[in-house]
Copies of this chain bind each other. A is one copy, B any other.
Amino acid sequence: MKHYSKADILSWERLFRTNLINGISGCKPTMLLGTSSSSGDYNLALFSSVVHVGANPPLLGVIMRPPVVDRHTLENIRQTGIFTMNHVHAGIVEQAHHTSAKYKRNVSEFEKAGLTAAFLDGFTAPYVAESKIRMGLQMVNEIPIPANGTLLIVGEVLHLYVSGNLIGEKGMIDMQEAEGLTVSGLNTYYTCNRFMELPFARPEENES
């Protein structure tokens, strides 16, 4: 067991630190956020800092970097108040990863990455047609994180789309059947293989 102090961590070369510290939070979701500007430019970007906030009302959070340079996703959410979250599965991971390249404001990452924008039920933010689990959200809180100037964007789920029979009778989503992926660090993807379902001991801290 090797020990690294905060001083060690801060002394590391930047990329090494970025890779390692992005890995210590454990398995992370792989989620494409779809947005539209008020003038109708679409944006699609990959995020892994996504977190469950609550089930009733249904709330998801995502950490965003401070808007010191162009942050199209954040700007679009501020303009329109809405966004979509779309699960990345094994069949679209290369396309999804490609959205992390930097494009100019008026370039659609959908087209560049080879993914299809879908507009559903009157919602004006684009969904990813190829995704099997998709949500349409309304931003309800934009919360500054003083420690490093990032933001926690909290969204309420207005629409949920799930393909096929991925939802079991008790409400569980089968992530293996969904070909769900998890990412460690910034660019290493792992498949999820069913290991164990344990008896439902309602957790004291973790439920909601």
Q: Does A117 have its Cβ within 8 Å of any Cβ on chain B? A: no
B205 with A198: CB separation less than 8 A:
no
A186 with B207: CB separation less than 8 A:
yes
* Known A19-B170, A167-B20; contact A51-B27, beta-carbon cutoff 8 A: no
A6 with B158: CB separation less than 8 A:
yes
* Known A26-B31, A53-B49; contact A9-B157, beta-carbon cutoff 8 A: yes
Encode A134-152 as 1/0 by CB contact (under 8 A) with B. Answer: 0100001101011110101
Q: Does A40 have its Cβ within 8 Å of any Cβ on chain B? A: no
A10 with B182: CB separation less than 8 A:
no
Assembled-state Cα–Cα distance A199/B102 (Å): 14
Interface residues of A in 15-60 (CB under 8 A from B): 15-31, 33, 45-60
Task: Work out how many copies of this chain go into the complex.
Answer: 2
A190 nearest CB across to chain B (Å): 4
Task: Please give 16 more A-B residue pairs, beta carbons under 8 A apart, in addition to A26-B87, A74-B205.
Answer: A2-B162, A19-B170, A23-B175, A24-B60, A26-B30, A26-B31, A27-B29, A45-B206, A47-B206, A51-B61, A70-B204, A171-B185, A187-B200, A188-B196, A188-B197, A191-B195
Contacting residue for A145 out of B152, B190, B193, CB 8 A: B152
Assembled-state Cα–Cα distance A184/B167 (Å): 12
Encode A91-116 as 1/0 by CB contact (under 8 A) with B. Answer: 00110011011100000000000000
